Structure 1
Amino acid sequence: MSGDAFEDALALANGPHPPGPAAPGRSAPGRPAPGRSPAHAPAAPPAPGAAPGQDPEAPAQAPGEPGLARPRRTPPPEDHGGLVTPGWDTARATAHRAVRPLPPRRLPLDLALGHTLAAPLTALTDLPAFDTSAMDGWAVAGPGPWRLAPGPGLLAGSAPPSAPLTDGEAVPIATGARLPHGATAVLRSEHGTAADGELRGPTPQPGADIRPRGQECRTGAELLPARSALTPAALGLAAAAGYDQLAVRPRPRAEVLILGDELLFRGLPHDGRVRDALGPMTGPWLTALGAQVLVTRRIGDDADALHEAVAGSRADLVVTTGSTAAGPVDHLRGVLERLGAQLLVSGVAVRPGHPMLLAELPGGTPLVGLPGNPLAAVSGLLTLAAPLLNALADRPLPEPRPARLTEEVRGHPRDTRLVPVACPEPGRARPLSYAGPAMLRGIAAASALAVIPPGGAASGDRVRLLDLPLA
């Protein structure tokens, strides 16, 4: 069976829906379009000791994880002139190791959301910075009944009276107000009655409803380690701990180049031309993965324009769509060779998306080449671009989480498959239809991609899930 026929069969594995055609003139995974030749990819050699017929890149079953889907005995990986295409896990790890974190910079708190801490967040003050009331009521000294001290009550933000409370005295206090000296507890407002300058109620336990100074942390305590993502809660913690600015790894700047003369950018497909699906989604995918997208440019099949765009980019990551094969109008590899770029990954043993590539441009900027089919491009984004963005932001490579399949998923004889799944309940993954390389309907409804090992996985098998970014 041809590679393309096998891909079409896999697209039907979880539903009766026929796969959509590849974009005219573009290379679909497993089959070059007319006039184009398949890319041959250098890769790592087989792992020592790999069983004959088994993909050496596939993960072994982990101890304590019974039922994890494992590769079945299959033909050896494709060999192109002695170069074996790297497996999916190896390609991800290669991308994550390909770059160093971006230099840190200081940002005000209101601009730091989504960035990564470049250094540990340590408290600049005790939290709370002083003893405060946890409730509305009265600050009391000793047992009751209590005389109400003269003067106004204490509000949050007001200075406490200079004279300390003495035993048998009380003063009204609001939540968050600084406790006066001499106070031993707070009597809640619902527990006491004040009349004629006297407060009556049950005597609270010493320290009751008081938030003591340093209850949450002391000055110098580490609140968050370096490499933590700055969430809204983390920014609130930083503000409470006394920060106005933070040292962060900046969001990696990305530039997207859309290739292909067959693409339309508005209206319905006509005259053999198709709508561009990659332009509207690639930038938002990169943003969701942590990048700052500078621009999305439409280059077409113009080698000189592509060379100028890549050579002149000031981004931290360049992402191209299409042109990853080696046909007469697939100019990407020729442009990379002309620029003196080094190919780090040239094809990956994964379906869809195996023609994807990763190159290092002169000066060290990475370039990710995505295949032209939409789901194949998503596979390339999550396989190569996501690990690169994590590394640039000084974040670890996320590990897929395990789940059990609700039904069988057919596999490729040699390659990993990435299959859109819905997660109806924790620990369960339901494969979705419309999973062909040119389709987006499945991934649009998915919450994750299931990593299906060579040979496939049965219903009930444990597989790894690659969670999809939500926004």
Structure 2
Amino acid sequence: MRSVEEHLAAILGSVRELPPVDLALPDARGAVLAEPVSAPVPLPPFDNSAMDGYAVVAADIARASEADPVTLPVAGDNMAGEPGVPAIAPGTTARIMTGAPLPAGADAVVPVEWTDGGTETVRITRSAPPGNHIRRAGEDVRAGQVVMAAGTRLGAAQLGMLAAVGRGHVTVRPKPRVVVLSTGTELREPGTPLGPGQIWESNSFMIVAAVAEAGGVGHRHATIDDEPGKVMGTLRDQLVRADAIVTTGGVSMGARDVVKEALTGTGTVDFHKVRMRPGKPQGFGLLDGVPVFTLPGNPVSAYVAFQVFVRPALRAMQGLPAESLPIVGAVLTEDVTSPPGLRQYLRAHLTLTRSSYTATPADTQGSHQLASLSSANGLIVLPEDAESLPAGSHVDVMRLPS
């Protein structure tokens, strides 16, 4: 029987980073940057106004007040993106809008609220220090500065930054395309009626969503009956559109464990028992170079195995650290037990109290009991040698995606 670390190491030793591709900015959302990006110009590229108001020489309005306002002639208007007043002389001002270039000679901006809003002349009722409401060139980003490192996942703010430094395309490692399929003659599509001995299929919907949470693109395939030839034919058909394939069901020791029967001796796919609960039966290997993860059919087993094994592999394919879910320390609120020699993952509710977490195990822990998983926000990780832990013990807990 393999340890969790041994099985994960075998997986990570086989998966490879996806080759980088050049994508237009709108298509790069969620992908991982494969190159450092530098700013070709400073940001802002020129001194500009942070307010709608008037560009002034600060010394000209040093004594301005409500009781004794300063009146200045307006030399013209400076609008964002348009030619305007290139310079002002002492004793004059120019109207200026937010983002418009600061005219030479000006060293402060007074908001329009401090004035009477005049267009030919303006009465200013407050003084302003040099630099007031001015955005200096390069105060956000210097020319040549690296604004984003390789390995950054591109979300909304990151795409905004790339656009701000003029990048229309970027080189990224794309989101892995993951085909997810479940096997089982007893499975039926949600929304259809059930016959005797049938259940609605849930695993593929859950795993497709988990793929997206891990940064991939999941493609759900219709359920496959327990026929080895049909399973193998479907898998081979999916290779052309998959960077990885995840199956659930048919990998244990039963008479109709169809995935195991179909894949044994094919490619490099191999099957093992892993010292964990839930999720002991596992399979993994390459089929025509494509990673194939075969997970158990019980829904909680499939979910836990995905987080422990598949998620790190998908991250590695994107050039990211091969990590599972974030782990936090917590204090148990109840006694727990665990089978000897197995690493157990207990569904739990994490609560943040002041500066520390508490973890309360779910009432039900069966590998088929999806309700307790859907309401959990953590998985308590009990090591192989922890047969029992009393309330008050410190444990590691995987934080589940919200």
Query: Counterpart of 1:421 in 2: which secondary structure?
Result: strand
Please show how residues 336-347 of structure 1 align to structure 2 within 5 Å: 336-343=263-270, 346-347=272-273
Does structure 1 residue 147 correspond to structure 2 residue 72?
Answer: yes
Query: Counterpart of 2:389 in 1: which secondary structure?
Result: coil
Instruction: Say whether the 8 Å CA contact 1:148–1:199 is kept in structure 2.
Output: no
How far apart are the structure 1 equivalents of 2:71 and 2:339? 81
Does structure 1 residue 109 correspond to structure 2 residue 46?
Answer: no
Task: Name the aligned partner's letter for residue 98 of structure 1.
Answer: S
Shifted more, 385-394 versus 273-282: the winner is 273-282
How far apart are the structure 2 equivalents of 1:327 and 1:260? 12
Which of 343, 364, 368 lines up with 1:434 in the alignment? 364
- Compute the displacement of 1:165 (Å): 1.1
Instruction: Say whether the 8 Å CA contact 2:75–2:92 is kept in structure 1.
Output: no
How far apart are the structure 2 equivalents of 1:328 and 1:381? 25
The aligned residue for residue 176 of structure 1 is: 99
Which of 212, 226, 231 lines up with 1:301 in the alignment? 226
Instruction: Say whether the 8 Å CA contact 1:146–1:169 is kept in structure 2.
Output: no
How far apart are the structure 1 equivalents of 2:38 and 2:279? 44
Does structure 1 residue 390 correspond to structure 2 residue 307?
Answer: no
Which of 306, 316, 336 lines up with 1:409 in the alignment? 336
Superposition CA RMSD, Å: 2.1
Shifted more, 346-355 versus 403-412: the winner is 403-412
Encode CA deviations 1:186-226: one digit per residue, 9 max, x unaligned.
11223334667244334322112111000011122111211
Does structure 1 residue 264 correspond to structure 2 residue 188?
Answer: yes
Encode CA deviations 1:344-392: one digit per residue, 9 max, x unaligned.
x6232111111122222232x1111110111111111111111111011
Query: Counterpart of 2:75 in 1: which secondary structure?
Result: coil
Query: Counterpart of 2:260 in 1: which secondary structure?
Result: helix
- Compute the displacement of 1:270 (Å): 4.0
Instruction: Say whether the 8 Å CA contact 1:311–1:339 is kept in structure 2.
Output: no
In structure 2, the CA distance between the partners of 1:146 and 1:299, relative to structure 1 (3 Å rule), is: same
The aligned residue for residue 281 of structure 2 is: 355
Does structure 1 residue 191 correspond to structure 2 residue 121?
Answer: no
The aligned residue for residue 205 of structure 2 is: 280
In structure 2, the CA distance between the partners of 1:286 and 1:161, relative to structure 1 (3 Å rule), is: same
Instruction: Say whether the 8 Å CA contact 1:98–1:388 is kept in structure 2.
Output: no
Query: Counterpart of 2:221 in 1: which secondary structure?
Result: strand
How far apart are the structure 2 equivalents of 1:213 and 1:411? 61
- Compute the displacement of 1:134 (Å): 1.2
- Unmatched 5+ residue regions in structure 1? 1-83
How far apart are the structure 1 equivalents of 2:301 and 2:295? 7
The aligned residue for residue 175 of structure 2 is: 251
The aligned residue for residue 48 of structure 2 is: 132
Instruction: Say whether the 8 Å CA contact 2:334–2:391 is kept in structure 1.
Output: yes
Instruction: Say whether the 8 Å CA contact 2:56–2:107 is kept in structure 1.
Output: yes
Q: Which has the higher strand share?
A: 2
In structure 2, the CA distance between the partners of 1:159 and 1:346, relative to structure 1 (3 Å rule), is: farther
The aligned residue for residue 457 of structure 1 is: 389
In structure 2, the CA distance between the partners of 1:225 and 1:458, relative to structure 1 (3 Å rule), is: farther
Does structure 1 residue 216 correspond to structure 2 residue 132?
Answer: no
- Compute the displacement of 1:91 (Å): 3.3
Instruction: Say whether the 8 Å CA contact 1:166–1:182 is kept in structure 2.
Output: yes
Percent of residue pairs identical: 30
Encode CA deviations 1:398-418: one digit per residue, 9 max, x unaligned.
352322222222222111111
How far apart are the structure 1 equivalents of 2:35 and 2:389? 43
How far apart are the structure 2 equivalents of 1:356 and 1:213? 57
- Compute the displacement of 1:160 (Å): 3.2
In structure 2, the CA distance between the partners of 1:311 and 1:456, relative to structure 1 (3 Å rule), is: farther
In structure 2, the CA distance between the partners of 1:89 and 1:192, relative to structure 1 (3 Å rule), is: farther
In structure 2, the CA distance between the partners of 1:113 and 1:457, relative to structure 1 (3 Å rule), is: farther
- Number of aligned residue pairs: 382
TM-score w.r.t. length of structure 2:
0.88
- Compute the displacement of 1:93 (Å): 4.4
Does structure 1 residue 85 correspond to structure 2 residue 2?
Answer: yes
How far apart are the structure 1 equivalents of 2:378 and 2:316? 21
Instruction: Say whether the 8 Å CA contact 2:269–2:283 is kept in structure 1.
Output: no
Which of 343, 366, 377 lines up with 2:291 in the alignment? 366
Task: Name the aligned partner's letter for residue 364 of structure 2.
Answer: Y
Encode CA deviations 1:51-75: one digit per residue, 9 max, x unaligned.
xxxxxxxxxxxxxxxxxxxxxxxxx
- Compute the displacement of 1:439 (Å): 0.8
Encode CA deviations 1:137-159: one digit per residue, 9 max, x unaligned.
211124124623333x2232223
How far apart are the structure 2 equivalents of 1:194 and 1:331? 79
Does structure 1 residue 205 correspond to structure 2 residue 129?
Answer: yes
How far apart are the structure 2 equivalents of 1:419 and 1:116? 32
TM-score w.r.t. length of structure 1:
0.76
Structure scoring higher RCO (CA < 8 A, sep ≥ 6) equals 1
Query: Counterpart of 1:339 in 2: which secondary structure?
Result: coil
The aligned residue for residue 67 of structure 2 is: none
Does structure 1 residue 469 correspond to structure 2 residue 401?
Answer: yes
Instruction: Say whether the 8 Å CA contact 2:269–2:292 is kept in structure 1.
Output: no
Shifted more, 214-223 versus 323-332: the winner is 323-332
- Unmatched 5+ residue regions in structure 2? 61-69
Instruction: Say whether the 8 Å CA contact 1:347–1:356 is kept in structure 2.
Output: yes
In structure 2, the CA distance between the partners of 1:391 and 1:456, relative to structure 1 (3 Å rule), is: farther
